[in-house]
A = this chain, B = another copy of it.
Amino acid sequence: MVTILVIDDEEDIRELLCYNLKKEGYDVYSAENGEKGLASMLANKPDLIILDVMMPGMDGIEVCEAIRRTDGFQKTLICFLTARNEDYSQIAGLDAGADDYVAKPVKPKVLVSRINALLRRKGMISLESGHVKDLVINREKYVVEKNGAVIHLPRKEFELLALLASKPDYVFERDTILDKVWGSDIVVGDRTIDVHVRKLREKIGEHYIKTVKGIGYKFVEVQN
Contact = CB atoms under 8 A, between A and B. Distances in A.
A39 interface: no
Contacts of A143: 224
Interface string A208-219: 000011110010
B95 A179 contact: no
Copies in the complex: 2
Interface stretch (A65-73, A170-178, A192-200): A170-178
A21 B120 CA distance: 18
B140 A171 contact: yes
B175 A141 contact: no
- The range of chain A's interface size is 35 or more
B184 A110 contact: yes
A218 B88 CA distance: 37
A interface SS class: mixed
A195 to B, nearest CB: 17
Contacts of A47: none
Contacts of A113: 173, 175-176
A107 B175 contact: yes
B95 A142 contact: no
The list of the 7 closest CB pairs from A to B, nearest first, reads A18-B95, A150-B224, A155-B214, A142-B171, A109-B175, A15-B95, A30-B95
Interface of A: 1, 6, 11-12, 14-19, 22-23, 25, 27-28, 30, 84, 88-89, 91-96, 98-101, 103, 107, 109-110, 113, 117, 121, 140-143, 149-150, 152, 154-155, 169-171, 173, 175-176, 179, 184-185, 212-215, 218, 222, 224
